[in-house]
Chain A
């Protein structure tokens, strides 16, 4: 791992703080998306039931809101942070070549013209990819939860198609 980072970050760049910040941002966004969705979903699911004494009875006349409605903007934070972890570290990596000297002169005259950009952009792209892939995984988990834990009688058909209709 250390070797991989050394080969793909600006030479001599100390990445401890950056990795910690990205890890914290990642945990926070995953947790807030997870809690946000589960909270919304469980509230809506609970509203399908009514209580008689100690017993919870499903009100089959009620309809569960669509998956896209419950999901709302819960995953938006992941996409916003995907952009942030792409842009901020990239700017810091490029700025690094101007700190404590002008190593930018060396980087700009390397025979491999991509080296400067590769070492500045590659790791931030991986960060962003991690956030985007996690957002997709969370989306699939949320969809699975919605489809498997929502009582069938209250479930509106065509949920998958409705997701795509959002993009049309």
Chain B
């Protein structure tokens, strides 16, 4: 289990995360939602130790260090692969550094997404690069797969395929923390939703509980964000009145 207690992160005078506490048990697919600048990426980067922070982050009771870092993997829309390498060279690199790298899952996903095997990644399309980033994170052999907007630029069919594939291949001990804006799209695939706003967790709910209450995820998110449904129509009216 990943346990986050009192996590704080500042960029200069700007507070990115305020006293965030969160537990991520194994075997969940967690959606991490929030508007731009809510702190989603910062939270993920703090978990991975890519940013300095105040507070505690523990993995099964131990600090996240080089000893246990291979239990976490990361897929980011910024792409963490090497653009000049081929997929085979990436597989070799991962196999050398991550003892639980799954060659079988890597090959299976490469074939499923029909990605070009022999070409360096710099010549690939943005969508293919996103897919490859995700493939690497899922093949690393990590217990916790952290994904930060992994499908920015992919078409809807592609994303749909991926969600289905994800549900099919994940082992019971694998946890996915998926940061995305595509709330409605992932609502059927996640088991839990965590909402961030201005660096604070404002909602944390199991989707099964929402189902039992007969509510959908989007309504829950709007409620937590105190989203005013008449906001758009009022703005349009105001603009129209001014123009008259």
Chain A residues packing against B (C-beta within 8 Å): 10-14, 99-106, 108-113, 115
Contact = CB atoms under 8 A, between A and B. Distances in A.
Which 7 A-B pairs have CB atoms at the shortest separation, nearest pair first?
A12-B84, A101-B79, A100-B83, A12-B82, A105-B80, A12-B85, A106-B80
A11 B83 CA distance: 9
A109 B78 CA distance: 15
A105 B70 contact: no
A12 B120 contact: yes
A11 B80 contact: no
A12 to B, nearest CB: 3
Contacts of B84: 11-14, 100
A111 B69 CA distance: 6
Listed residue (A99, A100, A103, A105) with the most chain B CB atoms within 10 angstroms of its CB: A105
B42 to A, nearest CB: 14
Contacts of A12: 82-85, 89, 120
Interface residues of B, number: 24
B240 interface: no
Interface of B: 48-50, 66-67, 69-70, 72, 74, 76, 78-85, 89, 93, 97-98, 120, 122
Given A105-B48, A105-B74, A105-B80, 17 more contacts: A10-B82, A12-B83, A12-B89, A100-B79, A100-B83, A101-B80, A102-B80, A103-B79, A103-B82, A105-B50, A105-B76, A105-B78, A106-B80, A106-B81, A109-B48, A109-B50, A113-B66
22 contacts: A10-B82, A11-B84, A11-B85, A12-B82, A12-B85, A14-B84, A100-B79, A101-B78, A101-B82, A101-B83, A102-B78, A103-B79, A103-B82, A103-B83, A105-B50, A105-B80, A108-B49, A109-B69, A109-B72, A109-B74, A111-B98, A113-B66
By secondary structure, the B interface counts as: loop
A100 B122 contact: yes
Contacts of A111: 66-67, 69-70, 97-98
Listed residue (A14, A99, A109, A111) with the most chain B CB atoms within 10 angstroms of its CB: A109
Nearest to A11: B82
Contacts of B74: 105-106, 109
Nearest to B97: A110
A99 B80 CA distance: 10
Contacts of A10: 82
